[in-house]
Structure 1
Amino acid sequence: MVSWPASAANDSIKKEECKELIIDIPLALEPPRWPECCIYRVPKRLREVKHMAYTPRLVSIGPFHHCMRKELKDMEIQKLRYLRDFCYRTGKSMENLACIIERNEVRIRHSYSENFLLGSKEFVNMILLDAIFILELFWRKSEKSMAQKDYILSQPCMERGIRYDLLLLENQIPFFVLEELYCGDQQNEAGLQNGKLQEQLLIKKDILVELSCRFFRDLYSDEQPDPKIGEVKHFTDLVRRFFPPPKPKQKENEKHIKHLYTATKLAGAGLKFRPVSGRSLLEIKFLENTCLEIFPCLNLSWLLACLPCLKSTCLSRVQRFLEIPALRVDDKTEGLFRNLMALEQCHYPFETYICDYIVLLDDLITTKADVGLLADKKIIVNELGSNAAVTDLFNKLGHEIESNGIFYLDLSKELDGYYENSWNRVVATLTSVYFQDFWRGTATMVGLIVLALTLWNFARLLRK
């Protein structure tokens, strides 16, 4: 009988134990995120700040909130009605529509940041119902006669709630699904043919984008989205495109400014705030006369404060202005910005211009006085009722947000440089104390004249 050494026996036991610990890694392991991915679950750190801002209340779209709560299930009946009416109106069969979804099922699943355990049939039915619900809703919105009779559109409160739910990041389906269903079989035929059919397909796609923009019109009010809006991934992405970004001028490796003075401090240093229209919401400009940069002593704001009639003359050009497009703040504003920022955090981490805009406003607004100042200047249209509510909103919007700050870097430097110029603060103090209005300015001038005459007489007496 052969006896093995004790060390060899121990090695054999250890090898057996190691075999049990080996992890079986599948050869076809899926990547952590597919290239098509564009719809995300909101990161936990953002959801914990205010989870209801990311949660649908009336209708669920897509798999993240599919049949999660009773109040969302009620709208499923309306989806079935819309599907029936859509098929009757367009003459398309449910089978053909379902085939379109089945053909794109893998691509649709890859558009989400998570895998779902829904079977193929259940997943296809869910996407079909949600997509047709959106298409039929948009069509009825464009037809006034239908809108007045529609269960949703005839109730402004419900329509507004549905519109809000459709922009939530977790409540999306890929936009290409809507294009496939809206264009029908032409989508495949156009890939094989050129000419007229392809042209008709492009027209149909443009019409769908236009219908989508009309439905979300209230979110961009006076702004008109670019007709060539580019490839739309979903509605959250579409709404983000309503607000074109400012052009950054940051140089490589340039340090970001972490601090900006508040609106009241800047106003106290003589900066004037002015609302503007017909411009992107994010296009904020600091206007300063070149001569004032070289010769700050030419600041004549004290004279304009005394004589407002001179503001229409060239003297107004020596004023420093911060032009900010007006922003309406209501009960949906927070949810809108939170979802746009969440999209940027997940999908556009190096193009966070919405996040940069919110961080800039958060810096300008620290107290109720800052909101009051901007509201008086018609820059903030406060529909929340109190300045404290608006202050709290902007102070919390930037929590847990990573912002690279490049889009407003130059603006921040200009504003900081303006405030830190001691001459600007001196002139502003003199203006507010001695030249606040016509009467105080007149009294100051009379006082200066009397003082000058007194000194002149005193000097004359000394000469004698």
Structure 2
Amino acid sequence: MMEARMMGEKNWVLDIKEKLEQMVCSDEEELWKKHSIYRLPTYLKDLKKKAYMPQVVSFGPYHYGDKQLMPMEEHKQRALIHFLKRTDKPIENFLSAMEGVEQQLRGSYEMLDDVWKDGNKFVQLMILDGCFMLEVLRAATMRPVDLQSSHQSQRSNGYAHNDPIFSSHGKLYNMPHIRRDMLMMENQLPLLVLEKLVAIETGNPMNEDFINKLILKFCNPNAEVFKVAEGLHVLDVVRKSMLQGPHSRSPGPAQESSGEIIRSAMELDEAGIQFRTSKSHSLRDIKFHHGILSLPVIVVDDTTESTFRNLMAFEQYHIGAGNEVTSYVFFMDNIIDSAKDVSFLHSKGIIQNAMGSDKAVAKLFNELSKDVTLDPESSLDEVHKMVHDYCKKSWNEWRANLIHTYFRSPWAALSLLAAIFLLGLTVAQTVYTIVPYYKPNDDSFSSTIAPNSSPSPL
């Protein structure tokens, strides 16, 4: 027993010494630099499991084989066959291209199970999921007229009119669920996969702008599509589009952070701050100037929570990604305390509530920032400080306290007005009581002097 223990310790020591000799800091740096798709820790997923777990389809190795996602595997295989038939290119071409970047693709994932050490299996998964994603993006972004076909014929892209995924019916009922799953941190494919597939399909070097536009049209069909920088995966492209445009910094001298939470939207309104919509929809387009707080318009629906949670997770785990989305969520959490704040922001055109309930929207923003660390040098720190300092000015603070105390309730306002009216009546009554007391004496004095007075000699 003792000998076995000593042998185990000796082997451990030798193993550590070997690793010390092989250790090169630059290798670690290169390793972390490659990662762009991450497994999220249990504590984070436990906050809202449904927001991080795909419901209908898996992309990539992390959720491949999950029982609830298996029905979609049949549709993936069918999409691959349609893709190959339409491109009229041998599958060996796609396989060769993907094998050429296998290590780069593998390095995109933070942790891979041992089953994916099999290079053939990993490459096959990249091709299968990549073709399915491309087919989904193309089918969903086709014009409505292109989705119509007769029962006797097939659509121009090769799918039947009653296809459960790639038909107009599938676009209406199944694509929204696929879109939601495509925006989850653990459910990403490197965009390099799509670039390689399209390059082989077309025979031309891939322009990433083409894929970016497909992704943005799919994820936000009603929004104007702008050119965005090359992304790492779908989630990264969507994040870049949400931050599109210059960062609007408020003018004014730099100040040290006050360290205090700014008030809710209703309280800011009481302090004299006016709310307006920003000129763009960029989450970075938030500014405060001369008592006016400008915020971008945001549509809040059933997918907002999941999207924001995964965007924030990407910012948290991908070093160098930035913190703009997290900063925005914290800022909105600060100014939204209740349904009244949501209703107020809706009246100003800042929040478009597609959830129906103002209370649900308030709860959404209040829960989004739980257990998330905010960078002290966040992109909105300057706006935060200026709003806080504005509210702390004596006049604005007095104004806010007056409105909050006496004008929040109509009965309180009426009571204040009644009190002011009664005070006015009391003052008037006092004046009318005092004035006659002095005025008669003046008249009596004048009447007494007048008969005895005589005109001055000329």
Q: Indicate the TM-score class for this superposition, using the shorter chain for normalisation.
A: 0.7 to 0.9
One of 401, 410, 413 as aligned partner of 2:385: 413
Deviation string for 1:232-283 (max 9, x for gaps)? 1000100100122735689999547341211222122232333345342342
Partner residue in 1 for 2:447 = none
Superposed displacement of residue 328, structure 1? 1.7
Aligned to 1:65: 63
Q: Is the 8 A contact 1:179 1:208 kept in 2?
A: yes
Contact 1:324 1:379 in 2 (8 A): yes
Cα deviation 1:361-401 (Å, max 9, x = unaligned) = 11111223322322333322223232332222111111121
Structure 1 residue 141: deviation in Å?
A: 2.7
For these two proteins, the number of residue pairs brought into alignment is 403
Q: For the Cα contact (< 8 Å) 1:100–1:180, is it kept in 2?
A: yes
The answer to whether residue 326 in structure 2 is matched with residue 355 in structure 1 is: yes
Correspondence 1:211 to 2:183: no
1:176 maps to which of 173, 176, 192: 192
1:244/1:282 contact within 8 Å kept: yes
Normalised by the length of structure 2, the TM-score is 0.76
User: Structure 1 residue 116: deviation in Å?
Assistant: 2.9
Larger mean Cα displacement after TM superposition, 96-105 or 242-251? 242-251
Is 1:22 paired with 2:13? Answer: yes
Residues of 2 paired with 1:20 and 1:83: CA distance?
49
Deviation at 1:457, TM superposition (A): 6.8
Partner SS for 1:242? helix
Question: Which residue of structure 2 lines up, in the alignment, with residue 109 of structure 1?
Answer: 106
CA distance in 2, matches of 1:173, 1:50: 23
Which piece of structure 1 moves more, 132-141 or 26-35? 26-35
Give the SS at the match of 1:419.
Answer: helix
| Alpha-carbon distance between aligned partners in 2 of 1:50 and 1:93, rounded to the nearest angstrom | 43
Which residue is equivalent to 1:201?
A: 205
Whole-angstrom CA distance in 1 between matches of 2:120 and 2:385: 56
**Secondary structure of 2:36's aligned partner:** coil
Shifted more, 364-373 versus 158-167: the winner is: 364-373
Q: How far does residue 165 in structure 1 lie from its aligned partner after superposition?
A: 0.8
Unaligned residue ranges in structure 1 (runs of 5+): 1-11, 188-199, 289-319
Structure 1 residues 248-257 or 83-92, which shifts more?
A: 248-257
3-state SS in 1 of match to 2:379: helix
Larger deviation, residues 253-262 vs 57-66: 253-262
Counterpart amino acid of residue 59 in structure 1: V
Residue 335 of structure 1 aligns to a residue whose secondary structure is helix
Which residue of 1 is the match for residue 155 of structure 2? none
User: Which is higher, the Rg of structure 1 or of structure 2?
Assistant: 2
**Is the counterpart of residue 94 in structure 1 residue 91 in structure 2?**
yes
Instruction: Report the alpha carbon displacement of residue 335 of structure 1 after superposing the two structures with TM.
Output: 0.2
Aligned residues with identical type, % of pairs: 30
Map 1:61-460 onto structure 2 (within 5 A): 61-69=59-67, 71-117=68-114, 118=116, 119-144=118-143, 147-148=147-148, 149=161, 150-153=163-166, 154=168, 155=170, 156-184=172-200, 201=205, 204-218=207-221, 221-222=222-223, 224-227=224-227, 229-244=228-243, 246-247=247-248, 254-255=256-257, 257-276=259-278, 278-288=280-290, 320-348=291-319, 351-405=322-376, 406-427=378-399
CA drift of 1:349 comes to: 5.8
Query: Runs of 5+ in structure 2 lacking a partner?
Result: 149-160, 440-458
Distance 1:247 1:37, change over 3 A: farther
Q: CA deviation at 1:39?
A: 0.6
Say which SS state the counterpart of residue 70 (structure 2) adopts.
helix
Higher RCO (C-alpha under 8 Å, 6+ residues apart): 1
Distance verdict in 2 for CA 1:322–1:13, change over 3 Å: closer
The CA deviation at 1:90 is 1.3
Give the counterpart letter for 1:201 in structure 2.
P
Comparing 399-408 with 129-138, which one deviates more in the overlay?
Answer: 399-408
- Kindly provide the CA deviation profile for residues 429-456 of structure 1, in whole angstroms up to 9, marking residues without a partner as x: 667868999x999999999998998888
User: Distance between the aligned counterparts of 1:184 and 1:139, measured in 2?
Assistant: 17
Assess if the C-alpha contact under 8 Å between 2:275 and 2:294 holds in 1. Answer: yes
The answer on whether the counterparts of 2:249 and 2:287 sit within 8 Å (CA) in structure 1 is no
**Following the alignment from structure 1 to structure 2, what is the Cα–Cα distance between the partners of residues 81 and 236?**
25
RMSD of equivalent CA atoms: 3.8
Paired amino acid for 1:423: W
- C-alpha change, 1:105 and 1:350, in structure 2 (3 Å) is closer
Q: Aligned AA for 1:332? A: T
Cα deviation, 1:22-77, whole Å, max 9, x if unaligned, reads 242467678484422111112333212112211111110000001122x3111111
Provide the residue aligned with 2:156 in structure 1. Answer: none
**Closer/same/farther in 2, CA of residues 34 and 251 from structure 1, 3 Å limit:** farther
Which letter maps to 1:418?
Answer: Y
From the superposition, tell whether residues 168 and 16 of structure 1 become closer, same or farther in structure 2 (CA, over 3 Å). Answer: closer
Give the direction of change, closer, same or farther, for the CA distance of 1:252–1:380 in structure 2 (3 Å limit).
closer
